[in-house]
Structure 1
Amino acid sequence: MPTLNWIGKDKIVNHHQKVPFKILEKKYTYSKGTETIDGESKNKVIHGDNLEALKSLLPEYEGKVDCIYIDPPYNTGNEGWAYNDNVSHPRLKKWLGEVVGKESEDLTRHDKWLCMMYPRLKLLHKLLSPEGFIFVSLDDNEIHSLKFMLTEIFGEKNFQAEIIVQANKRGQTYKDLAKTHEYLMCFAKSPSAKINGLPGGADLFPYEDSHGRYSIRELRNRNPKFGRFNRPNLYYPIYINKDLPDKHGFCPTSLKKDENFNIEVLPLNSKNEESCWRWGTKKFEDNVVSQNDKSTIFGKPKQDGSWGIYEKYRKGTVKAKTIWTETEFISEQGTTMLNKLGLSQKFQFPKPVELVKRVIQLSTNSNSIVLDSFAGSGSTGQATLELNKQDGGDRSFILIEMEEYANNVTSERIKRVIKGYGSGSKKIEKTDGSFSYYELGKPLFDENGLLNKDIDENEIKKYIWFSETKQKYIQAKEPYHLGCWNSTAYYFYYDKKKQTTLDESFLRSIKIKAEQYIIYADNSLLDKKLMDKYHIVFKKIPRDITRF
């Protein structure tokens, strides 16, 4: 498999492992039109560097996100033109200097972009569920580099599509060729992941009966590899009663010939050669009933005067195409929506909500988690809330934005969508919902690898409990007790002011009965026989604390 190399790759290929784990500090929760310091929503808006923020999500969300949509910098080389092109941000320059070193001074803008994206994609890969998908919006500048990176990280077999999105119907007229499109790159986490179908409308299902809308498709197997010669059980006559057509001219069918069902149809192709049906006689009989309206098989005259046998096709979804030309996906729609929300002067070039909504439809179920680590103005949050309202889903979103407008644009947009905004033709109907707003806090471990004494002890307990059990932490009543899970009692014997020692005195203080004990402490004086007798596992602080 071809790989992509660039200056600095050797320095950042495993950099995601060295990113410090920082605590997420909740600043407020927005619910029912008000901000409060109490309560916690499963929807999150996080202000902070997205590399560090993604690392902070690992303990709770690793392998649990079904849909990742990101709209990273396009890297056009014209930093002054748009937010999306800023690969020379002071924070990025500082980071490159620290991670890549002196080589960073010689990096091209493409090298910088690749160094920036690679560790973020590695963390996104960790967060994605086995059945999940990542979608990335880009244009020509980095689309080929992106595909190489995603192939390296996600695997060649997990490539799904390079979707073409018509972003500008008129085209960029200042170029010799008026470019009208952008790309949406899609990879799965694993080969077992399946893209959802899209809801079908009247244009796809033009017929209707008392059971709903449907399309029709021929029952004859049109594959020339199959016919009477190798599928003799699928070659049989079907009889039509032409005297009982429905409102569309569709006539009832039967396997038995009589005075009413007297038009015989065999599975013959246009050259009058023997092919076969797609169904055997048992399935045919199961789908043909006496009431013509309920039957899924019928006869219909063709233009040449012959008769065909057709199936009513009622499947409620259709496969998405790889070229999206719908008007609601053009870039202007994103600006129009932000204008309706009264925020267009604060942010340029937002992604269309309907585009992100389509991505979410293709890759989630009703309870999925949606993540956008380049959140910008918050189109992904709005898309998630609107889709939930539309189909009754309970999806949640996580938005990460490093710029200072994370609160006064990204979060403000979500507030206005939740409570509704505007009036008349510009009115945005409320979706209801809530979210919690977070800032990145201090690192859990200090520069010496020790637990940071400035961190709230409950945050440390939460981290360790989740690293052991993958469960949400609920504060226990007994001192040093984290909780019990799968017949194991967990203890975190920690004191910021002094060293702790696991000894027989500490054991006598334990009141919880369990089959096994996992105890964190600075030191242990217990001998192996005693530990084996009571099924005790000692873990040393901080050495044995899992590093995400």
Structure 2
Amino acid sequence: MPTLQWLTRDEDVRAAEKVPYRLLEEDPALGYGDRDTGNMLIQGDNLDALKALLPYYAGQVKCIYIDPPYNTGSAFEHYDDNLEHSKWLAMMWPRLELLRDLLAEDGSIWVSIDDREGHYLKVMMDEVFGRSSFIANVIWQKLYTVKNSAKYLSDMHDHVLCYAKNREYWSRNLLPRSEKSAGNYSNQDDDPRGPWTTNAVQARNYYSLGSYSISSPTGRIHRPPSGTYWRISEQKFHELNNDNRIWWGKGGDSIPRVKKFLTEAKQGIVPATLWAYQDAGTNAEAKQEIRAVADDGPELFVTPKPEKLLQQVLHIATNPGDIVLDSFLGSGTAAAVAQKMGRRYIGIEMGDHAVTHCAPRLQKVTDGEQGGISTARNWQGGGGFRFYRLGSPVFTEEGQIQPDIHFPTLAAHIWFAETGQPWTEPQPLSPFLGAKDGRGFALLYNGILGDKSVNGGNVLTRKTLAIIRDAAGGFDGPLTIYGERTVLADASLDAENIVFKQTPYDVRARK
């Protein structure tokens, strides 16, 4: 498979491994509405934030949409959008790797890009996600008028590259049928079954039973046009004709066509790869939407995306309750649309405008603002979000835990390191973290057993082992237990089918 080569590639493809795990620290003052909806707004570098999310959301995100800087030479205050080409590739690779790890097995990622870097991005995503995971290159008509000032050709489209995490598990939703598409159906003969359209009876594919003659109601004889065959057998044709499912035209002697009733059609439309501005909006619409929620939005966000575009993506790729992630949140459109469509979201933005623009916009969404897709979705408000900032690293440069890390944080990282899966914090907390593939995992740390004395409860003894076994709720399989030390002899550990790992020395950060 072809691969991209650039000056710092060897270092860049390993960059995600070197990113430290950081804490996510909530700022309650900036959260809004119902904070228990599962929505998160994170301020900080998205590479660090994506790594911080792994122990909690790896394999959980149903849809990722990102609109990274296009490297067009535009002067963005909050992005360096004039990166030299190899630096742009270096920026994208580790982020795509971490996004892949967060994606659910039946999830998909959608990336907006233009022609400057789009074809390089396609090759890079083939490497990171696998060529077999490629779904489509959607062409979005971002403008509806030609720019007469264009020096060469008027650029009127962007690309949206779509990849599945695993094509075997991914499936798309049909798009709702529009009034325009329903208008293609009529009822010219007052058929009691309602409006219908027609499909051709002939096709170019050879069919051994498709060379017969047909007599119309007026007696005119029809044979398949040159180079074609009837798609159905003569017996089937007469069955359809007797059921008034053949249309001969108003005069009764046209070449026959098969009726297709609206009531029998699919309840939606198969998504295509060409998205016209009428269905997916334009850049101009996006600026109007931003202007409605932020006076300086159109100046700050040069090429925002319209809510219709994100609605199209999320309708195809998600269902209510699914998690949507945008790690280049920008003006906050993806999060706003996800909330209006009943999806959960994680939005990451590194600049100050995470506070000055994203949070206020999502507050207005919660209060029921009526811009964008609100009318179409009958949006009346509701929901809310929690606001987070990136805190200190969880591990030292040597990979050992920081001394002030709390139990749930370390538990999540140990579980992720051992299983590769996110950890859900149980209530109440216990030293038994859970079981995966027949092996249990436990952690004795920071007084989880209620003993606040020095080293109290952090040592594996017969007593603490009994507490772990009791917390395991009947699980009696092999155990991996983390603690400061153990007083049990090796023979006892072997007899109990226990692997003991010492904190902090045996705790290591996973990629």
* 1:445 shift after superposition: 0.6
Contact 1:298 1:310 (C-alpha < 8 Å) held by counterparts: yes
* 1:533 shift after superposition: 3.0
The correspondence for 1:204, drawn from 181, 190, 205, is 181
* 1:174 shift after superposition: 4.6
CA distance in 1, matches of 2:441, 2:502: 13
Q: Which amino acid in 1 is paired with 2:410?
A: I
Q: Which moved more, 1:448-457 or 1:206-215?
A: 206-215
Contact 1:226 1:276 (C-alpha < 8 Å) held by counterparts: yes
CA distance in 1, matches of 2:234, 2:95: 49
Contact 2:42 2:347 (C-alpha < 8 Å) held by counterparts: yes
Residue 443 of structure 2: aligned partner:
492
Residue 99 of structure 1: aligned partner:
none
Residue 351 of structure 2: aligned partner:
403
The correspondence for 1:145, drawn from 96, 100, 120, is 120
Residue 366 of structure 1: aligned partner:
320
Residue 63 of structure 2: aligned partner:
67
Residue 277 of structure 1: aligned partner:
232
Shift of the 149–277 alpha-carbon distance from structure 1 to 2, 3 Å rule, reads: same
Q: Which amino acid in 1 is paired with 2:67?
A: D
Q: Which runs of 5+ in 2 are unaligned?
A: 448-453
* 1:278 shift after superposition: 8.1
Q: Which amino acid in 2 is paired with 1:189?
A: K
The correspondence for 1:507, drawn from 445, 448, 465, is 465
Contact 2:416 2:422 (C-alpha < 8 Å) held by counterparts: yes
* 1:409 shift after superposition: 0.7
Residue 97 of structure 1: aligned partner:
none
2:254 matched to 1:305? yes
Once the two structures are superposed, what CA deviation does each residue of 1:336-383 show, in whole Å capped at 9, x if it has no partner?
011222444473232111111111112122332211100011000111
How does the TM-score come out when normalised to structure 1? Answer: 0.76
CA distance in 2, matches of 1:524, 1:366: 47
Contact 1:219 1:278 (C-alpha < 8 Å) held by counterparts: no
Residue 158 of structure 2: aligned partner:
182
The correspondence for 2:277, drawn from 318, 322, 326, is 326
Q: Which amino acid in 2 is paired with 1:457?
A: F
Residue 540 of structure 1: aligned partner:
502
* 1:503 shift after superposition: 4.0
The correspondence for 2:305, drawn from 342, 351, 359, is 351
Shift of the 16–174 alpha-carbon distance from structure 1 to 2, 3 Å rule, reads: same
CA distance in 2, matches of 1:273, 1:372: 49
Residue 130 of structure 2: aligned partner:
155
Contact 2:205 2:229 (C-alpha < 8 Å) held by counterparts: no
Residue 287 of structure 2: aligned partner:
335
Q: Which amino acid in 1 is paired with 2:394?
A: L
CA distance in 1, matches of 2:73, 2:227: 62
Shift of the 528–382 alpha-carbon distance from structure 1 to 2, 3 Å rule, reads: same
CA distance in 1, matches of 2:315, 2:434: 38
CA distance in 2, matches of 1:158, 1:266: 50
Q: Which moved more, 1:19-28 or 1:538-547?
A: 538-547
Q: Which amino acid in 2 is paired with 1:362?
A: I
Q: Which amino acid in 1 is paired with 2:180?
A: D
* 1:419 shift after superposition: 0.6
Contact 1:29 1:41 (C-alpha < 8 Å) held by counterparts: no
How does the TM-score come out when normalised to structure 2? Answer: 0.81
CA distance in 2, matches of 1:265, 1:474: 77
CA distance in 2, matches of 1:452, 1:226: 72
CA distance in 2, matches of 1:366, 1:476: 29
Contact 1:238 1:264 (C-alpha < 8 Å) held by counterparts: no
* 1:536 shift after superposition: 2.3
Residue 93 of structure 1: aligned partner:
none
CA distance in 2, matches of 1:384, 1:64: 16
Residue 522 of structure 1: aligned partner:
484
Residue 86 of structure 1: aligned partner:
81
Once the two structures are superposed, what CA deviation does each residue of 1:106-165 show, in whole Å capped at 9, x if it has no partner?
xxx001111111100111111122222221112222112111111111122222222222
Residue 19 of structure 2: aligned partner:
19
The correspondence for 2:360, drawn from 412, 416, 426, is 412
Contact 1:26 1:437 (C-alpha < 8 Å) held by counterparts: yes
Shift of the 498–143 alpha-carbon distance from structure 1 to 2, 3 Å rule, reads: same
Counting only pairs closer than 5 Å after superposition, residues 102-501 of structure 1 correspond to structure 2 as: 109-168=84-143, 169-171=145-147, 173-192=149-168, 193-205=170-182, 206-207=184-185, 215-218=196-199, 220=201, 222-228=203-209, 268-271=223-226, 275-277=230-232, 298-302=245-249, 304-312=253-261, 313-327=264-278, 329-345=281-297, 347-349=300-302, 350-386=304-340, 388=341, 394-421=342-369, 430-465=380-415, 468=419, 470-476=422-428, 480-482=431-433, 490-495=441-446, 501=459
Contact 1:29 1:434 (C-alpha < 8 Å) held by counterparts: no
CA distance in 1, matches of 2:222, 2:509: 65
SS in 1 for 2:482: strand
SS in 2 for 1:113: helix
Shift of the 65–384 alpha-carbon distance from structure 1 to 2, 3 Å rule, reads: same
CA distance in 2, matches of 1:188, 1:278: 40
Residue 2 of structure 2: aligned partner:
2
Shift of the 536–273 alpha-carbon distance from structure 1 to 2, 3 Å rule, reads: closer
CA distance in 1, matches of 2:238, 2:99: 48
Contact 2:215 2:221 (C-alpha < 8 Å) held by counterparts: no
* 1:396 shift after superposition: 1.1
The correspondence for 2:50, drawn from 51, 54, 57, is 54
CA distance in 2, matches of 1:122, 1:141: 22
CA distance in 1, matches of 2:138, 2:117: 15
* 1:431 shift after superposition: 3.1
CA distance in 2, matches of 1:56, 1:265: 74
CA distance in 2, matches of 1:453, 1:408: 34
Shift of the 214–451 alpha-carbon distance from structure 1 to 2, 3 Å rule, reads: farther
Once the two structures are superposed, what CA deviation does each residue of 1:202-238 show, in whole Å capped at 9, x if it has no partner?
3223336899986534373624222317xxxxx9999
Residue 451 of structure 2: aligned partner:
none
Shift of the 455–159 alpha-carbon distance from structure 1 to 2, 3 Å rule, reads: same
Contact 1:49 1:401 (C-alpha < 8 Å) held by counterparts: yes
CA distance in 2, matches of 1:279, 1:191: 39
CA distance in 1, matches of 2:281, 2:267: 23
Q: Which moved more, 1:154-163 or 1:300-309?
A: 300-309
CA distance in 2, matches of 1:142, 1:274: 46
CA distance in 2, matches of 1:406, 1:47: 6
CA distance in 1, matches of 2:502, 2:136: 47
CA distance in 2, matches of 1:518, 1:266: 81
CA distance in 2, matches of 1:533, 1:267: 86
Q: Which amino acid in 2 is paired with 1:225?
A: Y
Once the two structures are superposed, what CA deviation does each residue of 1:70-104 show, in whole Å capped at 9, x if it has no partner?
111111124x356555356xxxxxxxxxxxxxxxx
Q: Which moved more, 1:431-440 or 1:42-51?
A: 431-440
SS in 2 for 1:160: strand
Contact 2:140 2:158 (C-alpha < 8 Å) held by counterparts: yes
